[in-house]
Structure 1
């Protein structure tokens, strides 16, 4: 059975609507949590897909959260091997760092449901399946575009919202995977952040109700098309060689 390794930093920011799609395609989902699991011991090459999810810390915060260094190494190993990798929010920022790009605070919070503006490359990518659907934005940092990556989308507040490196690597600053049916977990878990940002949770709750169904349908189109782009080729390829254990 194919496995997807999902690095999850906070429990309510999980694979969301992507999880049932993956399970329907025959993937076994395995979550690991950096705060409790040993990331340095992870085999990050064998899984058919690795997904690095969002979280409430910065991609540059390893002095305060030392486990980020091991996570960054895991992302770099996966990238260097050319294995399928999806990064969402913090995950995309870590991917950008691993590819040599800067990650910095924006100076503002971008939180709420709003559409993306697709670049020409984005319109020719799997993101074309968004068809103007509003996605969930929830971040205060932004990544620079890595060398060699295609910029796929942006917003007025955050010009770099998505990038691709070939067909197997996709970084998303926004949350296409968000399940509007679980928005209460987000509102409760990020209550302090919302209060500090002056954002009324009632507004986000109303937006989730208005846009959740369209976002879920768009996410199925986008993620389905992205998976189609490499699954058949990877199925015919030999399994990756795992590194030999150290002395």
Structure 2
């Protein structure tokens, strides 16, 4: 049987691949990565240096601290978005997480801009009530980790899957092969620890109360379960045979 070829785009060293690594390995997946964070911000990346879209069955685009609009300071963002457009044209499976969801939206011409507030920590999110029956199923209400200053408008043809009062667009899908989340369903206790440490090193970027960050580090393990399960279900959904 052919191995599932999973590739992920990583934008900050502190994030890693998150909760789905063990799940994908149990499926026998071959996992590779492009580590954009290792490139100098002005690195003249050639799109042909990235994997061929033919070599990827599932793309997972991780989060990051940069804005998708900051192509001046991160020259490789423009190339990454070109590659994402090329990959989306194949209609193969892709999942975007936080910045990843914003990158998909931006690559498709949708606006990504500052949210009205910085959303950081555990928050409640509500599934959209009226969606097509074939849409990805989210719990009616669920609690997940948020860590963002910006948010996406819905790309053309996208179905809104979730939102809350702090951020109108929390999840969307395109067809049955693209899922994007504004929140972090992949977060694990270890990843959260790294998020906090990274944020403390950049207080100007994310102006938050350090006492609040320390409290987040004490989150009980059961808090992570629901988001991790949503991500597993998302993987199954985008990989399912299409009718």
> How many angstroms does 1:48 deviate by?
1.3
Aligned length: 233
User: Distance between the aligned counterparts of 1:13 and 1:103, measured in 2?
Assistant: 21
Structure-2 change in CA distance of 1:209 and 1:39 (3 Å)? farther
Map of 1:184 onto structure 2: 193
1:48-63 matched pairs, under 5 angstroms: 48-63=57-72
> How many angstroms does 1:212 deviate by?
3.9
User: Distance between the aligned counterparts of 1:185 and 1:142, measured in 2?
Assistant: 22
Unaligned runs of 5+ in 2: 40-44
User: Distance between the aligned counterparts of 1:212 and 1:146, measured in 2?
Assistant: 34
1:28-39 matched pairs, under 5 angstroms: 28-36=30-38, 38=45
Unaligned runs of 5+ in 1: 238-247
Per-residue CA distance 1:127-154 (angstroms, 9 max, x = gap): 525x644211111111111111010111
User: Distance between the aligned counterparts of 2:109 and 2:143, measured in 1?
Assistant: 30
Whether 2:84 is the aligned partner of 1:78: answer no
Q: What's the RMSD between the two structures over aligned residues?
A: 2.5
Select 2:233's aligned residue among 225, 235, 244: 225
Contact preservation (8 Å) 1:122, 1:153: no
User: Distance between the aligned counterparts of 2:216 and 2:136, measured in 1?
Assistant: 24
Q: Which has the higher helix share?
A: 1
Contact preservation (8 Å) 2:116, 2:166: no
User: Distance between the aligned counterparts of 2:161 and 2:219, measured in 1?
Assistant: 25
Structure-2 change in CA distance of 1:212 and 1:99 (3 Å)? farther
> How many angstroms does 1:80 deviate by?
1.2
**TM-score of the superposition, structure 2-length normalised?**
0.85
User: Distance between the aligned counterparts of 1:33 and 1:109, measured in 2?
Assistant: 26
Map of 1:15 onto structure 2: 17
**TM-score of the superposition, structure 1-length normalised?**
0.84
Contact preservation (8 Å) 1:45, 1:83: no
Contact preservation (8 Å) 2:127, 2:141: no
> How many angstroms does 1:208 deviate by?
4.9
User: Distance between the aligned counterparts of 1:84 and 1:127, measured in 2?
Assistant: 17
1:22-171 matched pairs, under 5 angstroms: 22-36=24-38, 38=45, 40=47, 41-42=49-50, 43-121=52-130, 125-129=135-139, 132-171=141-180
